[in-house]
């Protein structure tokens, strides 16, 4: 299946200068623009196998090896996917989730490698669509001036065979040879031509391994990329396998019977040299892995310390807020206590006033009662005057009582003067009747009963 666009297809597309193309315009620069190719996938990162390689001079770790990908959908819209980068992809000021395609629109702001701690954004782009002839000179060239564009096939024409998907990893067949009653498994003896071919293949693998080790040794900032620990482990496993394979080949060549082949000793020496080189590279990779693990542990420890500091700060803020609330509640309580004290004081004053008023009322009633008992009572019946009359000597009696008295004696019961005349006193009757209205019900009932009895006797 074709996955990488050839230079001829890219050239044909660039020749059409009148067509509009989508690209990422670098903010503040008229250079280093990123062009989007139709029906393709654009990869961006600091690694080598990407469409556009971005290298930050100020912060090398700002861009991951494979930072993000841009893909065009069937409807022509472009999407961006964050490939688990360290510093993320920011669209319109918000970081997008990793491994999720985010749809882009013309005019969207795309920021790559924004540091977590915070600094100026170095790789800031805007999605635009312009004529190719106007912006052709602004594009950023990929590795070796030919961007690696992955063409997205619309429909697969055939299914892949299992051998194409998973290449054979079977080892060369072993043959058996018996010696002293024991059976050993050993590789088949190789002819000089095949041995040279195998040496060339091993040298190619050695060159690839050395290039991988050189890539590991070149940038010092790789130690801080937390996504490459698994890659280093896989490289170490591959180097160990190559060391084992080379060692077996050396042992097999050493155990072979003496032959007239003059290249055998040369092959053995070359294989031994390759074995030593592979072992040194493996030791370097192991040391690098250990340093990487230590750096990762330090980063985790720093992250834990930062989280602890953040939690302490949040706890202090919460305690301050709680203290403020407690202070406010104390002030409110003090204000309510002052209000309650004032209300209680007012109630006490009101209660004293009521008690004084009741005492005054009782005193008035007592005085009225004394006046009634002393001045408004008839000395004959010892009751309040009923139809009071005044004699010529100015003493007052009940009309009924004085009549009954005059039947026995015709003189005043008090001063013993002769009774010459008696007169009704309506003012005294009205005063007594008004006072009786404020007396108790028993006294009122008793007075009514006396009045009724005297009227009955009179009739």
Residues listed for the chain:
459
Selection from 43, 33, 40 nearest residue 13 by Cα: 40
| Residue ranges making up the domain that contains 408 | 379-457
CATH number at residue 111: 2.60.200.20
Residue 32 lies in a domain: yes
Query: Which CATH number characterizes residue 422's domain?
Result: 3.30.40.10
Query: What confidence score (pLDDT) does residue 390 get?
Result: 93
- Give the residue from 102, 134, 166 where a domain finishes: 134
Question: Which residues pair with residue 398 across a beta bridge?
Answer: 388
Q: Domain boundary at 134, 156, 186, which?
A: 134
Number of folded domains that form the chain:
2
Residue 374 lies in a domain: no
State the virtual CA torsion across 320, 326, 331, 333 in degrees, nearest 10: 170
Is residue 102 in a domain? yes
Question: SS3 for 54-102, per residue?
Answer: CCCCCCHHHCCCCCEEEEECCCCCEEEEECCCCCCEEECCEECCECCCE
The verdict on pTM exceeding 0.75 is: no
Query: Does residue 199 belong to any structural domain of this protein?
Result: no
Q: 247-250 contacts: CB < 8 A, separation 24 or more?
A: 247/275, 248/187, 249/187, 249/198, 249/202, 250/275
Confirm whether 75 is domain-assigned. yes
Residue owning tokens 């009549």: 403
In a domain, 178, yes or no: no
Beta carbons of 395 and 406 less than 8 angstroms apart? no
- For residue 33, being part of any structural domain is answered with yes
Q: Does residue 443 lie in a domain region?
A: yes
Q: Among candidates 66, 22, 73, which has minimal Cα distance to 44?
A: 66
Helix (H, G, I), strand (E, B) or coil at 52: strand
Distance between CA atoms of residues 18 and 338, nearest Å: 86
Q: Are 391 and 419 in contact (CB under 8 A)?
A: yes
Question: How would you write the pLDDT of the chain (459 residues) with one tens digit per residue?
Answer: 333 333 334 444 445 667 889 999 998 888 889 999 888 899 999 988 899 999 888 777 889 999 999 999 888 899 999 999 888 899 998 999 999 999 999 999 999 987 655 557 788 999 999 988 888 888 876 544 444 555 555 544 444 443 343 344 433 333 333 333 333 333 444 444 444 454 455 445 444 444 444 443 444 443 445 555 666 666 777 777 777 777 777 777 666 655 556 667 777 777 778 778 878 877 887 888 788 888 888 888 899 999 999 999 999 999 999 999 999 999 999 999 999 999 999 999 999 999 999 999 888 878 877 776 777 889 898 888 899 999 999 999 999 999 999 999 899 999 999 999 999 999 888 988 888 887 788 888 988 998 898 888 776
**pLDDT score for 375:** 79
Strands 94-95, 388-391: pairing kind:
unpaired
Cα separation, 55 vs 47, whole angstroms: 9
| Single residue among 113, 134, 155 that ends a domain in this structure | 134
Q: Two tokens at 14?
A: 């660039």
Burial (CB count <10 Å: 0-12, 13-18, 19+), residue 64: buried
């Amino acid at each position: 299946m074709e996955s990488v666009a050839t230079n001829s297809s890219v050239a044909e597309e660039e020749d059409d200068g009148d067509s509009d193309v989508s690209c990422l315009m670098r903010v503040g620069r008229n250079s280093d623009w990123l062009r989007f190719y139709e029906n393709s996938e654009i990869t961006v990162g600091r690694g080598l196998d990407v469409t556009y390689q971005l290298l930050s001079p100020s912060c090398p770790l700002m861009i991951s090896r494979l930072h993000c990908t841009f893909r065009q959908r069937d409807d022509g819209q472009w999407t961006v996917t964050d490939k688990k980068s360290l510093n993320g992809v920011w669209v319109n000021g918000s970081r997008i989730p990793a491994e999720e395609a985010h749809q882009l629109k013309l005019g969207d702001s795309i920021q790559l490698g924004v540091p977590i701690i915070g600094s100026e954004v170095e790789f800031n782009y805007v999605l635009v669509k312009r004529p190719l002839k106007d912006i052709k000179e602004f594009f950023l060239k990929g590795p070796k001036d030919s961007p690696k564009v992955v063409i997205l096939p619309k429909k697969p024409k055939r299914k892949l065979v299992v051998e194409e998907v998973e290449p054979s990893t079977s080892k060369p067949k072993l043959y058996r040879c018996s010696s002293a009653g024991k059976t050993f498994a050993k590789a088949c003896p190789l002819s000089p031509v095949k041995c040279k071919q195998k040496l060339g293949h091993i040298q190619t693998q050695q060159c690839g391994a050395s290039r991988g080790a050189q890539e590991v040794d070149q940038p010092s900032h790789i130690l801080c990329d937390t996504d490459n620990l698994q890659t280093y482990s896989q490289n170490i496993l591959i180097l160990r396998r190559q060391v084992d394979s080379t060692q077996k080949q050396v042992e097999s060549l050493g155990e072979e019977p003496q032959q007239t082949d003059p290249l055998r000793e040369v092959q053995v020496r070359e294989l031994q040299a390759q074995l030593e080189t592979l072992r040194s590279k493996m030791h370097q990779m192991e040391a690098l892995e250990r340093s990487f693990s230590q750096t990762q542990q330090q980063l985790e420890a720093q992250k834990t310390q930062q989280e602890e500091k953040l939690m302490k700060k949040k706890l202090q803020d919460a305690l301050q807020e709680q203290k403020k609330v407690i202070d406010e509640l104390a002030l409110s309580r003090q204000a309510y206590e002052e209000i309650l004290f004032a209300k209680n004081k007012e109630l006490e004053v009101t209660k004293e006033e009521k008690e004084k008023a009741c005492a005054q009322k009782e005193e008035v009633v007592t005085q009225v009662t004394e006046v009634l008992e002393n001045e408004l009572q008839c000395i004959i019946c010892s009751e309040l005057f009923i139809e009071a009359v005044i004699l010529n000597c100015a003493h007052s009696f009940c009309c009924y009582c004085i009549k009954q008295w005059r039947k026995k004696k015709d003189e005043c019961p008090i001063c013993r003067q002769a009774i010459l005349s008696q007169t009704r006193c309506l003012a005294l009757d009205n005063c007594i009747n008004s006072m009786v209205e404020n007396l108790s019900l028993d006294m009122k009932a008793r007075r009514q009963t006396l009045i009724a009895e005297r009227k009955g006797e009179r009739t």
